[in-house]
Amino acid sequence: MNRIYSLRYSAVARGFIAVSEFAEKCVHKSVRRLCFPVLLLIPVLFSAGSLAGTVNNELGYQLFRDFAENKGMFRPGATNIAIYNKQGEFVGTLDKAAMPDFSAVDSEIGVATLINPQYIASVKHNGDIQTLALVMVKTVTISWTGIMRRHWIFMPPAG
């Protein structure tokens, strides 16, 4: 058995103590304690994208489908749409803008909606859209390439 020792200062003992050369520093234990929670958090942090397709379970699923398909109270141009949960309790009102018409949605990847002959609407996290094809009346397809993205903030008219 190896009997080589060295004198090391111990903050706990406030002095020098004899330590075997095979002894490890206390720092290694704290690193091991820290690694375990970090390894548990990594899947949680990277799984946030998997929640992108979830819907709120307090509202009826048919409400989300009606919104996407412009059916029922979500007809194009509707304003001040009251939203109720599954128990029939009032949740809120969609009153910031008129309901858009989703019938002119991009037919290839579904990331944009034609809201004006010169403007399409999308969401910020989609990034730049280079090509777009809209199917109008199931027979006419209009395609665009080289689309320029404009960032703007909605300002309600003064008055």
Highest mean pLDDT among 97-101, 106-110, 116-120: 97-101
Q: Is residue 24 part of a domain?
A: yes
Q: How far apart are CA 50 and CA 39, in angstroms?
A: 19
Kindly state whether residue 66 falls inside one of the protein's structural domains.
Answer: yes
Q: Taking the complete model, does pTM exceed 0.85, yes or no?
A: no
Q: Of the given ranges (93-97, 130-134, 142-146), which has the lowest mean pLDDT?
A: 142-146
The closest of 6, 2, 1, 10 to 19, measured between CA atoms, is 6
Q: Contact 60/86 with Cβ under 8 angstroms?
A: yes
- In terms of residue numbers, what domain contains 16? 5-48
Specify if 78 maps to a domain: yes
Quick check: is 89 in a domain? yes
Whether 56 is in a domain gets the answer no
One domain for residues 90 and 118: no
Determine the Cα–Cα distance for residues 159 and 154; give it in Å rounded to an integer.
Answer: 15
Q: Is residue 153 part of a domain?
A: no
154 in any annotated domain: no
Task: Give the count of domains, the chain.
Answer: 3
Residues 115, 131: one domain? yes
Which of 114, 112, 115, 63 is closest to 92 using CA atoms?
63
